[in-house]
């Protein structure tokens, strides 16, 4: 396996802001078990059907990306269910590098600010 060229601990969670984070049957069961609740209750509380998918993660408001996964701690910028996270999250980015992290590292270097959060949003302030 190739060495990863990114560090998720230095990233503000861009991949967690994707509008579609698919949750497979086995993922839903794992998350329900994580919260020690029946699958039926977890289905209603944590997931929804959207964009042609049977089940995707619900989202919450986020200051950087507009919306982000409901299980993302927006203060610590970390996943709160890391060990129970869905397969889509486990497999991301699927390579030894992450395009957003490359962009983030470039911008932080250019801004000379290790905490700078790069977004592709160009809203006027």
3-state secondary structure of 62: strand
Residue 4 has pLDDT above 80, yes or no: no
Please compute the mean of the pLDDT values over residues 84-103 and round it to a whole number: 86
Please compute the mean of the pLDDT values over residues 5-26 and round it to a whole number: 89
DSSP 82: G
What integer best gives the mean pLDDT of the chain?
A: 88
User: Which tens digits make up the pLDDT trace of 16-59?
Assistant: 999 999 999 999 999 999 999 999 999 999 999 999 999 999 99
Cβ within 8 Å of residue 40, ≥6 positions away: none
pLDDT of residue 33: 98
Measured at the alpha carbon of residue 2, what is the angle toward residues 110 and 21, in degrees to the nearest 5?
70
User: Which tens digits make up the pLDDT trace of 110-124?
Assistant: 888 888 887 766 454
Residue 125 has pLDDT above 70, yes or no: no
SS3 of 7-51? CHHHCCCHHHHCCCCECCHHHHHHHHHHCCCCHHHHHHHHEEEEC
Beta bridge partners of residue 68, listed in sequence order: 60
pTM comes to 0.82
Which burial class, exposed, middle or buried, applies to 122 when counting CB atoms under 10 A from its CB (0-12, 13-18, 19+)?
A: exposed
Please compute the mean of the pLDDT values over residues 79-97 and round it to a whole number: 90
DSSP 3: P
pLDDT of residue 68: 95
What is the pLDDT confidence band of residue 1, given thresholds at 50, 70 and 90? low
């Amino acid at each position: 396996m190739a060495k990863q060229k990114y560090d998720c601990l230095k990233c503000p969670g861009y991949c967690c802001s994707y509008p579609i984070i698919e949750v497979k049957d086995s993922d839903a069961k794992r998350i329900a078990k994580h919260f020690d609740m029946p699958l039926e209750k977890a289905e209603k509380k944590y997931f929804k059907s959207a964009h042609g998918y049977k089940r995707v993660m619900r989202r919450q408001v986020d200051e950087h990306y507009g919306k982000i996964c409901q299980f993302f701690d927006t203060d610590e910028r970390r996943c709160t269910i890391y060990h129970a996270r869905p397969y889509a999250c486990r497999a991301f980015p699927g390579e030894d590098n992450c395009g957003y992290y490359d962009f983030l590292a470039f911008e932080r270097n250019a801004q000379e600010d290790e905490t700078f959060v790069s977004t592709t949003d160009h809203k006027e302030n």
